[in-house]
Amino acid sequence: MDKQKIEFYPGPAGGWGALRSVKNTLLHHDIALKGAKTLLSANQPGGFDCPGCAWPDRNHASSFEFCENGAKAVAAEATARRAGPEFFARHSVTEMLAQSDFWLEDQGRLTHPLRYDAASDRYLPLEWDQAFALIAQQLQALPDPNQAIFYTSGRASNEAAFLYQLFVREYGTNNFPDCSNMCHEASGNGMRAQIGVGKGTVTLDDFEQADAIFIFGQNPGTNHPRMLGELRAAHKRGARIVSFNPLHERGLERFQDPQSKLEMATLGATPISTHYFQVRAGGDLAAVKGMMKHVLEQEAARGGVLDHAFIAEHTTGFEALAADLQAEDWALLAQESGLSEAQMRAAGEVYIGAGSSIVCWGMGITQHMHSVATVQMLVNLLLLRGNLGRPGAGACPVRGHSNVQGDRSMGIWEKPPAALLDRLEQVFGFAPPRAPGADTVEAIRLMLSGQGRVFFALGGNFAAAAPDSDATWRALRQCDLTVHVATKLNRSHLVHGREALILPCLGRTEIDSQAGGPQSVSVEDSMSMVHLSGGINPPASELLLSEPAIVARLAAATLPASRTRWLWLIEDYARIRDLIAQVFDDFHDFNARVATRGGFRLRNTASERVWNTASGKAGFMAHAVPRDTPVHRATARLPGQQVFSLMTMRSHDQYNTTVYGMDDRYRGVFGQRRVVFIHADDIRALGCKDGDWVDLLSAWDDGQERRIERFRLVAYDIPRGNIGAYYPETNPLVPLAATAIGAGTPTSKAVPVTLRAHTGIVG
Ligand SMILES: Nc1nc2c(c(=O)[nH]1)N[C@H]1C(S)=C(S)[C@@H](COP(=O)(O)OP(=O)(O)OC[C@H]3O[C@@H](n4cnc5c(=O)[nH]c(N)nc54)[C@H](O)[C@@H]3O)O[C@H]1N2
Ligand SMILES: Nc1nc2c(c(=O)[nH]1)N[C@H]1C(S)=C(S)[C@@H](COP(=O)(O)OP(=O)(O)OC[C@H]3O[C@@H](n4cnc5c(=O)[nH]c(N)nc54)[C@H](O)[C@@H]3O)O[C@H]1N2
Ligand SMILES: [Mo]
């Protein structure tokens, strides 16, 4: 384990540090040679889609694009380590629960289907057929199919996701909580109401033509490293890059491109942001209102600023928004955004000066109570100057999991549109359930109330990723049965129901052999490009099944009267794609189109200026500056106490709940994860010193104590009143009831907390 230290990181993002980190990862997983070959096949024609993130590739066909964190994701899957039956015989569940998340996943790939044995408190191997029979029996025994819950994480392929939603709907429920509920739900809901599509409108070509790129609440240096390549190129040709972030993230400041021999040899680097605005957490809505207020004032002063023709022909609601902005008070905007009037005007001026603009955003926007309103404010900004549906312009919500967008396209959605259900009925001859199902937070409530009895997860780590860990764990432990389809051991397998199964599956890097030969699957990236992914490594164990095969065999066992030929479908995944084409018009001629080099782009009506909204136009939407957030309320409720707004976020060495290592290199944190980033003046005001140990308590008003202990204060360049710490260690603090209005997303970027000196022993 690395030595614990906090040390300012002087270098740019990328560069030799990234190469060194990859080398260490490959050594750790004993895959130096195989790993190199595996890495070279990521995002190549005929290779697999990188399981790292949803950022697209140039035609999915370019030369190898080096990405440190993509490499780590691939290496974690291609690891030579194995967690087989001997491992599970050695360790009881109670023993494993005491281990860290890092330790659990570090045991390697799962090799056998496993069933929990209460007598020995151990997971023991069982046959696949026994596993399917057991689940089928439990599902058939439920008096109401809505007592079963089917979670999806965003790595599942289109083929697996399509079969899964088909099976679950024929079984009889729309209970489809998914990682999207915790992620970009607000982007989809906000944009759908406003411009008629819930997806980003831009392509990589637009990044080549934009005059300005605005980046809100996103840390691409860690979470979408390949995006830095686009930003670097944009900077080099003179585009303005404007970042809004409470932290000075290194990847948004400077980048040394490992692809550039010159930069690597000379230790040169390209600056990324031309403008950096250190907005307060949750202050983006106010900041964007300030920008727009400036835009309108300049229109009045000098004219030619707004795109009047676009506004007249394509939008509704302009007058109401203009009146709202005019009435807005600069002092309030400054107080809530944490930016001065001059800064908001400066950002507005960059926007006015750009012929075409792209707005990107990530979790810093979506994981707030007012996230839907904030997303709509970002789109308002674009609409003012007609920055939608023309080259170099548009909205770019940057998705997380590599196929989270595709899973939604395939119908993994607790609120399915009627048109989808009608089509399923027509094609498959069963009556799908019409009532909406439970999202992530509702699913936890359902289990807590005793109404959710069976929890099935296609990937992910629900116990660690969901909010309010104590409530989530109680919920899972109350189930009759919990089942996890997974590649590696994680916390969710240990926080289990009365009966519990772990079903080990193939990863994306592995060869998927079915009766019809080796199979490819399809995925959709953040820019709606759909392409094939085929594994190249032999499976980690002979016993692994693919995700489509697991779903199909479970469906066949559970629904003996089904008219769908489940087992025939998985002999050749092209058959599944033919069904997808029958259900979704946008996937017409799916097999032919996906077979072309680089795949195809799904139609995006907003990017054609066709508005599938109630009014038939794009809608400006006015929203008040939020003043009633959980942090505002806690501050009012606890006079005399400093209530902080905690953002829970990712370190450089993790993929969501999968912890690869203990460093967060660009933020200067090494060998540890229990840190709290906090302003030096706030440390002093608490009567503490940099490096002191504290406990964190939620300032929530339901009478329940939520506390996590022993975190080290790290003096940091962050707005006063804001603090930052890593997810998932902080999830016990996120109250279940704190969710986004209109999206249900847990508000993981603005948790109201107070700090106390840690009085226990500090090791
Ligand atoms: N290597 C790696 N890649 C990943 C992931 C991973 O864990 N590791 N996760 C994947 C997934 S599922 C997702 S969703 C994405 C996540 O990618 P990001 O959206 O980058 O997610 P976070 O790390 O949560 O970082 C959020 C950023 O928002 C800032 N922020 C926090 N609150 C606010 C706010 O109120 N306003 C503004 N303007 N900024 C704020 C934080 O300082 C931080 O820079 O990445 C995907 N890619
Ligand atoms: N406090 C806080 N909470 C958050 C967030 C936050 O920023 N702060 N972010 C939220 C976000 S954006 C997201 S997307 C969620 C993520 O929530 P999840 O998607 O549920 O979590 P992951 O950590 O991505 O899941 C990792 C597990 O997936 C399994 N896995 C990996 N590859 C495969 C595969 O190919 N197939 C299968 N079946 N399993 C596989 C492995 O067993 C691994 O342990 O967390 C959310 N929770
Ligand atoms: Mo995500």
pLDDT at site 657: 96
Report in angstroms the alpha-carbon separations of 9 from 67, 364, 619, 670: 19, 23, 44, 10
Radius of gyration for the alpha carbons in the chain, expressed in angstroms and rounded:
25
Residues touching ligand 2 (Cβ under 6 Å) are 105, 153-155, 179, 182-183, 363, 367, 400-401, 458-462, 465, 485-488, 490, 505, 507-508, 547, 648-649, 656-658, 727, 730-731, 734, 748
User: Ligand 1 mean position to 741 CA, how many Å?
Assistant: 20
pLDDT at site 195: 98
What is the DSSP secondary-structure string of 400-443?
-STTHHHHHHTT--SS--HHHHHHHHHHH-S----S----HHHH
Q: Is 292 helix (H, G, I), strand (E, B) or coil?
A: helix
In this model, does residue 44 exceed pLDDT 80?
Answer: no
Q: Length of the chain in residues, anyone?
A: 763
User: Ligand 2 mean position to 462 CA, how many Å?
Assistant: 7
In this model, does residue 35 exceed pLDDT 50?
Answer: yes
pLDDT at site 762: 61
Residue 116 amino acid letter: Y
- In the chain, count of helices (H) and strands (E)? 32, 33
Q: Is 82 helix (H, G, I), strand (E, B) or coil?
A: strand
Summary mean pLDDT of the chain: 94
- Is the minimum distance from the CB of 402 to ligand 1 under 6 angstroms? no
User: Ligand 1 mean position to 274 CA, how many Å?
Assistant: 21
- The CA distance from 253 to 242, in Å, is 10
- Is the minimum distance from the CB of 282 to ligand 1 under 6 angstroms? yes
Terminal-to-terminal C-alpha distance of the chain: 15
Dihedral angle sign, alpha carbons of residues 302, 202, 603, 426? negative
pLDDT at site 703: 87
pLDDT confidence tier of residue 22, bands split at 50, 70 and 90: confident
Q: What global pTM score does this model have? A: 0.96
- The 10s digit of each residue's pLDDT in 594-604 is 999 889 999 99
In this model, does residue 18 exceed pLDDT 90?
Answer: no
- Is the minimum distance from the CB of 245 to ligand 1 under 6 angstroms? yes
- Is the minimum distance from the CB of 547 to ligand 1 under 6 angstroms? no
- The CA distance from 286 to 624, in Å, is 9
Dihedral angle sign, alpha carbons of residues 368, 373, 376, 381? negative
In this model, does residue 63 exceed pLDDT 50?
Answer: no
Please give the average per-residue pLDDT across 445-463, as a whole number.
Answer: 98
In this model, does residue 36 exceed pLDDT 80?
Answer: no
In this model, does residue 32 exceed pLDDT 70?
Answer: no
pLDDT at site 263: 82
- The 10s digit of each residue's pLDDT in 727-756 is 999 999 999 999 999 999 999 999 999 999
pLDDT confidence tier of residue 71, bands split at 50, 70 and 90: confident
pLDDT at site 154: 95
In this model, does residue 557 exceed pLDDT 90?
Answer: yes
In this model, does residue 763 exceed pLDDT 70?
Answer: no
What percent of the chain has pLDDT above 70?
Answer: 96
- The protein residue with its alpha carbon nearest to ligand 2, atom 3, reads 465
- The protein residue with its alpha carbon nearest to ligand 2, atom 25, reads 460
pLDDT at site 1: 46
User: Ligand 2 mean position to 388 CA, how many Å?
Assistant: 32
pLDDT at site 204: 95
pLDDT confidence tier of residue 374, bands split at 50, 70 and 90: very high
- The 10s digit of each residue's pLDDT in 167-185 is 999 999 999 999 999 999 9
31's enclosing H/E stretch is none
pLDDT confidence tier of residue 438, bands split at 50, 70 and 90: very high
* Ligand 2 atom at minimum distance from 657 CA: 23
683 φψ region: left (φ > 0), alpha (ψ -120 to 50), beta (else): alpha
Please give the average per-residue pLDDT across 611-623, as a whole number.
Answer: 97
- The 10s digit of each residue's pLDDT in 669-680 is 999 999 999 999
What percent of the chain has pLDDT above 90?
Answer: 86
pLDDT confidence tier of residue 761, bands split at 50, 70 and 90: low
- The protein residue with its alpha carbon nearest to ligand 2, atom 26, reads 460
Q: Give the up-direction half-sphere exposure of residue 414: CA atoms within 13 A in the CB hemisphere.
A: 24
Please give the average per-residue pLDDT across 603-615, as a whole number.
Answer: 97
* Ligand 1 atom at minimum distance from 282 CA: 35
109's enclosing H/E stretch is strand 109-110
In this model, does residue 718 exceed pLDDT 90?
Answer: yes
User: Ligand 2 mean position to 198 CA, how many Å?
Assistant: 22
Helix ranges restricted to H, 598-751: 630-637, 680-685
- The CA distance from 221 to 226, in Å, is 8
- Structural domains in the chain? 13-77 (no CATH), 82-182+403-606 (3.40.50.740), 185-398 (3.40.228.10), 630-757 (2.40.40.20)
User: Ligand 2 mean position to 133 CA, how many Å?
Assistant: 27
pLDDT confidence tier of residue 29, bands split at 50, 70 and 90: confident
| Cβ-contact 501, 472 below 8 angstroms | no
601's enclosing H/E stretch is strand 600-601
User: Ligand 3 mean position to 368 CA, how many Å?
Assistant: 14
Please give the average per-residue pLDDT across 130-159, as a whole number.
Answer: 98
- The 10s digit of each residue's pLDDT in 623-647 is 999 999 999 999 999 999 999 999 9
The most distant pair of C-alpha atoms in the chain lies apart, rounded to whole Å, by 79
pLDDT at site 62: 44
